[in-house]
Amino acid sequence: MYNPFDRSAKTAPSHYPRVVFHGLRTAQLLASLIVGGIMSFFIWHLTHDHWSTPWTFIWLTAASLCSIAILAFTIILHCFTGLNPRLNIGLNGFLTLLWGLSWALLTYYMSGTLANVCDKAHWHEDTGIMVCRIYKTLFTFTLLGLVSTLAALGLDIYVRRQQTRRGVYQLHDLDTKARPEATRGPFTDEAATHGSYEHSGLREEPRESLAWEEPRPSMGPYSEMGDKRGQAGGYAVPEAQFDYDTQYQGGHDARAMR
């Protein structure tokens, strides 16, 4: 009966270590959700106040949204068809570029804010303190997204190498002594047949059945004559067939019947 939840029946075997694989993906998803939420909050306020959106925010938004979409796509592949490491290397490589560029831009333009303490001596009001804390949270989870994506990319490369190593047959590494010797199948020749009987505990003994003897000549009345005429070639009717007396031998004379 078909079971839609039987994953082993329709997916290829995965070479990914389960704990590490899902742990890194959880870190990527968490970083993407938090960074995407913060970016949505900042972009909404900038648009409401008629300010243009900085390129740093655009790159951070693209990195977070692309990560969420790719994580959703690859987990579907992993559950239903099996995840190909080569495909995941390309996807995580693309995400690594996005997160690396976003983190570099954020560090460059927000270095002064990130280096200061979030207190009233530097921000003078509660709103400024809140913005300072949000920026530091944004920096932390952007770094988490970059590190987790790099680690996921390294895991993909490792799994791909292990998969390739298992798929290559290295004949020179095989021990010739460990190889099984070639044997003949049963009933191929007399030696193989004899060996198979000995291996199974049965020994071949002379047969006593008459079915295995050579055919004997027929013992019928026409056997010798038939054999001699058969050697001359063709079929001949035996002469003894016409030696029967065909006259009537009754109790009265044949002349008295007239």
> Model-level pTM?
0.60
- Domain extent, residue 22, equals 8-165
Looking at residue 80, its pLDDT comes to 87
Cβ atoms of 236 and 229 closer than 8 Å: yes
| Residue 207, in any domain of the structure | no
Domains held by the chain: number: 1
| Residue 222, in any domain of the structure | no
| Residue 195, in any domain of the structure | no
Question: Is the per-residue pLDDT at 32 higher than 60?
Answer: yes
Cβ atoms of 132 and 118 closer than 8 Å: yes
| Residue 93, in any domain of the structure | yes
Q: Comparing 196 with 117, which gets the higher pLDDT?
A: 117
Judged by phi (left if over 0) then psi (alpha if -120 to 50, else beta), residue 116 lies in: beta
Based on the number of CB atoms within 10 Å of its own CB, is 85 exposed (0-12), middle (13-18) or buried (19 or more)? Answer: buried
Pull the structure tokens for residue 48: 């409401």
Question: Is the per-residue pLDDT at 221 higher than 60?
Answer: no
Number of separate helices (H) and strands (E) present in the chain: 8, 0
| Residue 48, in any domain of the structure | yes
Looking at residue 12, its pLDDT comes to 56
The pLDDT-based confidence of 164 (bands split at 50, 70, 90) is confident
| Residue 107, in any domain of the structure | yes
Question: Is the per-residue pLDDT at 176 higher than 50?
Answer: no
Maximum pairwise Cα distance, the chain: 170
Looking at residue 119, its pLDDT comes to 83
